[in-house]
Amino acid sequence: MPPMKYRKLRIAWSVAWGIACLLLIVFWVRSYWRLDRLHYQYSSSHCIRAALNQGFVCFKMDECAFPLNDWKWEVWKDFLPIDDLIQWFMSSQWFIVPFAFPAILLSCVATAPWLPIRFSLRTLLIAMTMVAVGLGLAVYSLRN
């Protein structure tokens, strides 16, 4: 078996994404006691909003009702009950994802460099096309 190339880079990659996964799990547990909200204003009138509540990550891109100074982080001691949360977020067009999905995704990204799989250029181009189509559909669905 040939020696592993870029071993230190693989270790650094795995450690960085592993730490991100652990932080996500900490926020997952915290979401059952606190409601965290993050606002980011990326233009003069548009915002990205995220909420962490009851084991769910919720996203929304919309127009800002009031001017923000770039980033704003809010922590509320009270949180919405899960039924009210889903009803409120669904009525206001939020994108809701359970915390388990990004945690599993981050753990897969952390372990991916250690898999002994070789890809051809054709496989890489097909995967990039699929990612581009998925991102295009996501942007299209958010705009309409």
DSSP label at residue 21? H
- Structure confidence at residue 99 (pLDDT): 84
Residues paired with residue 35 on neighbouring β-strands, in sequence order: 76
- Strand ranges in the chain using DSSP code E only, listed in sequence order: 35-41, 46-53, 56-63, 71-76, 95-98
Kindly list the domain boundaries of the chain, sorted by start residue: 7-118
Q: Which amino acid, residue 133?
A: V
**How much is the average pLDDT of 36-54?**
78
pTM over 0.75: no
Collapse the DSSP code of 15 into the 3-class scheme (helix H, G, I; strand E, B; otherwise coil) and give the result.
helix
Distance (Å, rounded) from C-alpha 6 to C-alpha 110? 15
Confidence of residue 1 (pLDDT cuts 50, 70, 90): very low
